[in-house]
């Protein structure tokens, strides 16, 4: 979480909400979809292996970070994490991170349920 905090601002500006995986994917901007689909290429295998191993051993994983873009959604961090959830259909809903300033625009694109501070 500290990495997201330093990049995006203080944690008071960040929110977490639960979203439908299928609806999130359907609302993704095309470049975000391409990045997720390319996750499974050999060039990403080491990073993906570490992520899967960390998660499978009970480690916590920061949710992906989303932003609105032209009435769609872009993944601004966490393509690998989202790709695993989509490929394995792990959950119907997953948590996502976003800034307070993006909340209204995102709410017009996707249902943000159970909004909360990540603290």
> How does pLDDT run across 67-91, given as a tens digit for each residue?
999 999 999 988 888 877 777 666 6
**For residue 44, what pLDDT is reported?**
65
Q: For residue 4, what pLDDT band results from cuts at 50, 70 and 90? A: very low
CA atoms within 13 A on the CB side of 45: 3
If you count them, how many residues does the chain have?
Answer: 119
In 1-119, at which residue ranges do the beta strands (DSSP E only) sit? 14-20, 64-69, 72-77, 93-99, 113-116
**For residue 28, what pLDDT is reported?**
92
Burial 73-85 (b: 16+ CB within 10 A, else e): bbbbbbbbbbbbb
Q: What is the domain partition of the chain in residue ranges?
A: 2-6+17-93+101-113
The token pair at 1 is 């979480």
- 63: pLDDT strictly greater than 50: yes
Contacts by 77-83 with C-beta closer than 8 Å and gap 24+? 77/4, 77/7, 79/32, 79/35, 79/36, 79/39, 80/39, 80/44, 80/47, 80/48, 80/51, 81/51, 82/24, 82/36, 83/36, 83/37, 83/39, 83/40, 83/48
CA distance linking residue 50 with residue 3, whole number of Å: 18
Lowest mean pLDDT among 18-22, 50-54, 83-87, 111-115: 83-87
- 116: pLDDT strictly greater than 80: yes
């Amino acid at each position: 979480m500290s990495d997201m905090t330093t990049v995006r601002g203080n944690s008071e500006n960040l929110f977490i909400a639960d979203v439908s995986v299928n609806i999130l994917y359907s609302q993704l901007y095309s470049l975000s979809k391409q990045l997720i689909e390319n996750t499974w290429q050999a060039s990403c295998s080491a990073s993906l292996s570490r992520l899967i191993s960390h998660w499978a051993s009970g480690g916590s994983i920061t949710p992906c970070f989303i932003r609105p873009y032209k009435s769609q959604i872009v993944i601004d961090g966490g393509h690998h994490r989202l790709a695993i959830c989509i490929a394995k259909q792990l959950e119907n809903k997953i948590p996502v991170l976003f800034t307070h300033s993006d909340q209204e625009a995102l709410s017009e694109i996707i249902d943000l349920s159970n909004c909360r501070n990540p603290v």
